[in-house]
C-alpha cells in the first residue's frame, strides 16, 4: 500500500523488508505502539492496512536501518568500546550469594539478584521478565516483587516479545521500569533511547536499567513443539532447559528427569532471523549476563555467570550489589574474555556471510549500513 504522499507506507516497508524477509526477531518493539501490529503465538502480524508513511511500527525495529556506529558513539563511552562485544567497563564471573536463588535460576542467578535489588532499592517500580505458558509460548511479564521475579527465573529458549510489554507498561504511568532483554531487544530499546518518538511522553525516560542476556539463538515455537513431540516430551512438563558449554546438546528437564536432544536436531528449529544477528552479548544493555566458561567442569561452571558492566547505570547497580553482599564475584581466569570475544566475532562474521548470501551482494547488507566501520571490520573476508 502506498501512503498519501505516494511513497510505500511504513507498514508496507516493514512487511516487505522484515516480516516477509524472515528477519523479524519477535522482539515486540512494533507492538503496543501501533494498534495494527500484534503478536500471534511467536509471530508478529499486521491486523489492518495502514497508509502512514511515518508510522511508528518501524521506528525502533532492530532489523530496519541500523546505524551501529551512531548508536555506539551516542550511547557508550568510547574508551570502553571493543569491536567484538561492545562497551566493557568491567568484566566478572559472578553469582547470587543466596543459594536458594541459585537453585531456581538458570546459572548463577545474577540477573534475578540484580533485578531484585533494583526493585527493593527503588531504582525501578517494576521489572519486565519473561513468563511462559504450557506450550512454551512466552510473553513479557511485569514483576513487582521478589516472588514474581523468582517465579520467572530461568531461560526459555523460545522468543518472548519483551519490548511489547515495555511499550505497554511505560504508557501506563506506573513508574520506572527495568527490562531483561535478549540482544535484539536491547538494540530496539537503544534505538528508543537514541531517538524517542515526538509523542513518546517521556516513556523511554522510565527505562532505568536493561539487563541483557547473552544469546546464540531462539527456537521457533511450532518447530520446537514438533521436536518435543518427536522426543515424547510434553511441553507442559518442562521445568527447565540448558545448553551445557561444550556439549553440543539441549538438555530438557522435566518432572520425570532429563532428556538430551542433539544439536543436529535442534538446529532445524532455530528461528530464521537469528541467522542474521550480529550480537551475542547484548551490546546495548547496561549490564550483560551469560553462562560462565572456565576450567572443564560444567557442574561447577553452571552455578556462575559471566557479567559485562557496560554503562554508568550498570556500574552503579553492580557496585551496590557488591556493597550489599547480593552478588559474589571472582576473577575470570586468563583467556576467558579473549575466548568470549572470539566467539562473538565469529557470530558477527557468520551473520554477515548469511546476510550476503540472502541479499546476493556485499553492497546490500539488508538492515545494516555497509559503510559502518564496525560492519566493514567484520566484512573483510566476505566476498560475493
Ligand atoms: C533465548 C536465550 C538464548 C541464550 N543463549 C545463550 C548463549 O548462547 N550463551 C550464553 O552464555 N548464555 C545464553 N543465554 C543466557 C543464559 O541462558 C542465562 O539467561 C544467563 O546466563 C543468566 O543466568 P542467570 O542465572 O543470571 O539468570 P536468571 O537469574 O535465571 O534470570 C533469567 C532471566 O531471563 C528471563 N528470560 C528467560 N527467557 C527469556 C527469553 N526467551 N527472552 C527474554 N528474557 C528471558 C527470565 O524471565 C529471567 O528474568 C541465553 C538466554 C536465552 C533466553
Ligand atoms: S520491531 Fe521486532 S517484532 Fe516488530 S517487525 Fe521488527 S523485529 Fe519484528
Ligand atoms: S540470536 Fe539475535 S535475533 Fe535471535 S533472539 Fe538472540 S538476539 Fe534476537
What are 4-14's pLDDT values in tens digits?
A: 667 889 999 99
- Is the CB of 129 within 6 Å of ligand 3? no
Check pocket membership of 160 for ligand 3, CB cut-off 6 A. Answer: no
Confidence band for 107, pLDDT divided at 50, 70 and 90: very high
Expressed in angstroms and rounded, the spacing between residue 138 Cα and the centre of ligand 2 is 15
Query: For residue 156, which ligand has an atom nearest its CA?
Result: 1
The DSSP string of 108-159 is: S-HHHHHHHHHHHTTS-SEEEEEEE-TTS-EEEEEE-SHHHHHHT-S---B-
Residue 319 contacts residue 329 (beta carbons within 8 Å): no
Asked if residue 74 belongs to a domain, the reply is: no
Q: Confirm whether 39 is domain-assigned.
A: no
CA angle 145, 326, 311 (to 5 degrees): 90
The two beta strands, 257-262 and 249-254, are: antiparallel
Confidence (pLDDT) at 108: 96
Mark whether 200 and 116 lie in a shared domain. yes
Regarding whether 278 and 313 lie in a shared domain, the answer is yes
The answer to whether position 140 is within a domain reads: yes
Backbone angles phi, psi at 66, to 5 degrees: -100, 130
Question: Does any ligand 1 atom lie closer than 6 A to the CB of residue 25?
Answer: no
Res. 295: pLDDT tops 70:
no
Both 251 and 102 in one domain: the answer is: no
One domain for residues 92 and 205: yes
Beta strand 327-330 with 90-96 is antiparallel
Phi and psi at 262, nearest 5°, equal -65, 150
One domain for residues 197 and 260: no
**The residue count for the chain:** 384
* 35 in any annotated domain: no
What's the CA-to-centroid distance between 215 and ligand 1, angstroms? 8
Q: Ligand 2, atom 1: nearest CA belongs to which residue? A: 61
Is the same domain home to 132 and 150? yes
Q: In sequence order, what are the residues at sequence separation of 6 or more whose Cβ sits closer than 8 angstroms to the Cβ of residue 305?
A: 93, 94, 95, 107, 108, 109, 110, 111, 289, 290, 291, 292
Task: Note the pLDDT of residue 372.
Answer: 95
- Averaged confidence pLDDT in the chain: 94
Q: Are residues 213 and 316 in the same domain?
A: yes
Are residues 327 and 185 located together in one domain of the fold?
Answer: yes
Asked if residue 143 is part of any domain, the answer here is yes
Mean pLDDT score, 30-39: 93
Q: Is the pLDDT of residue 143 over 90?
A: yes
Alpha-carbon gap, residue 159 to 284, rounded angstroms? 18
Q: Tell me whether residue 317 is in a domain.
A: yes
Q: How far is the CA of 259 from the centre of ligand 3 (A)?
A: 25
* Same domain for 204 and 135: yes
Q: Is 92 in the pocket of ligand 3 (CB under 6 A)?
A: no
User: From atom 45 of ligand 1, which residue's Cα is the shortest distance away?
Assistant: 130
Tell me: do 210 and 157 sit in the same domain.
yes
Give the domain range for residue 239. 221-269
Task: Tell me if 207 is assigned to some domain.
Answer: yes
Assess if residue 44 is contained within a domain.
no
**Residue 3 — very low, low, confident or very high, per pLDDT cuts 50/70/90?**
low
> What is the per-residue DSSP string for 259-290?
EEEEHHHHGGGB-GGGGG---SS-TTSSEEEE
Q: What separation in Å is there between the alpha carbon of 180 and the centre of ligand 1?
A: 9
d(CA 182, ligand 3 centre) in Å: 6
Same domain, 198 and 300: yes
Distance CA 121, CA 283 (A): 25
Q: How many domains does the chain have?
A: 2
Q: Which of 12, 3, 207 is nearest to 124 (CA)?
A: 207
pLDDT in tens, 161-220: 999 999 999 999 889 999 999 999 999 999 999 999 988 888 999 999 999 999 999 999
Side-chain half-sphere of 365: how many Cα atoms within 13 Å?
A: 26
Contact assessment for residue 311 and residue 87, using Cβ atoms and an 8 Å cutoff: yes
Amino acid at each position: 500500500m502506498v501512503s498519501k504522499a505516494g511513497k510505500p507506507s511504513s507498514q508496507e516497508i516493514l512487511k516487505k523488508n522484515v516480516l516477509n524477509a524472515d528477519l523479524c526477531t519477535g522482539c515486540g518493539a512494533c507492538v503496543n505502539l501501533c494498534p495494527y501490529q500484534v503478536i500471534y503465538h511467536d509471530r508478529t502480524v499486521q491486523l489492518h492496512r495502514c497508509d502512514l508513511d511515518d508510522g511508528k511500527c518501524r521506528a525502533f525495529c532492530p532489523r530496519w536501518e541500523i546505524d551501529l556506529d551512531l548508536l555506539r558513539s551516542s550511547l557508550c563511552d568510547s574508551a570502553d568500546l571493543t569491536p567484538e562485544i561492545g562497551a566493557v567497563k568491567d568484566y566478572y564471573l559472578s553469582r547470587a550469594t543466596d543459594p536458594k536463588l541459585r537453585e531456581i535460576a538458570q546459572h548463577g542467578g545474577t540477573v534475578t539478584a540484580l533485578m531484585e535489588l533494583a526493585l527493593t532499592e527503588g531504582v525501578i517500580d517494576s521489572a519486565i521478565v519473561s513468563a511462559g505458558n504450557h506450550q512454551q509460548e512466552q510473553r513479557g511479564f511485569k514483576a513487582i516483587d521478589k516472588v514474581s521475579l523468582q517465579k520467572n527465573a530461568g531461560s526459555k529458549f523460545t522468543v518472548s516479545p519483551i519490548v511489547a510489554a515495555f511499550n505497554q507498561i511505560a504508557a501506563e504511568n506506573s513508574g520506572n521500569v527495568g527490562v531483561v532483554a535478549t540482544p535484539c531487544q536491547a538494540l530496539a530499546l537503544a534505538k528508543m533511547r537514541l531517538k524517542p518518538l515526538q509523542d513518546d511522553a517521556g516513556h523511554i525516560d522510565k527505562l532505568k536499567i536493561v539487563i541483557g542476556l547473552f544469546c546464540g539463538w531462539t527456537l521457533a515455537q511450532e518447530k520446537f513443539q514438533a521436536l518435543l513431540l518427536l522426543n515424547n516430551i510434553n511441553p507442559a512438563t518442562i521445568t527447565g532447559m540448558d545448553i551445557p558449554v561444550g556439549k553440543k546438546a539441549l538438555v530438557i528437564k522435566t518432572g520425570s528427569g532429563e532428556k538430551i536432544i542433539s544439536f543436529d536436531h535442534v538446529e532445524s528449529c532455530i528461528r530464521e532471523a537469528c541467522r542474521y544477528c550480529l550480537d551475542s552479548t547484548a551490546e546495548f544493555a547496561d549490564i550483560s549476563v551469560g553462562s560462565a566458561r572456565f576450567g572443564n567442569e560444567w557442574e561447577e561452571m553452571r552455578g556462575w555467570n559471566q557479567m559485562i558492566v557496560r554503562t554508568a547505570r550498570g556500574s552503579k547497580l553492580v557496585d551496590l550489589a557488591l556493597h550489599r553482599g547480593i552478588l559474589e564475584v571472582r576473577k575470570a581466569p586468563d583467556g576467558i574474555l579473549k575466548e568470549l570475544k572470539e566467539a562473538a566475532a565469529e557470530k558477527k562474521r557468520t551473520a554477515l556471510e548469511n546476510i550476503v548470501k540472502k541479499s546476493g551482494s556485499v553492497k546490500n547488507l539488508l538492515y545494516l549500513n555497509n559503510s559502518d566501520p564496525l560492519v566493514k571490520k567484520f566484512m573483510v573476508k566476505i566476498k560475493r
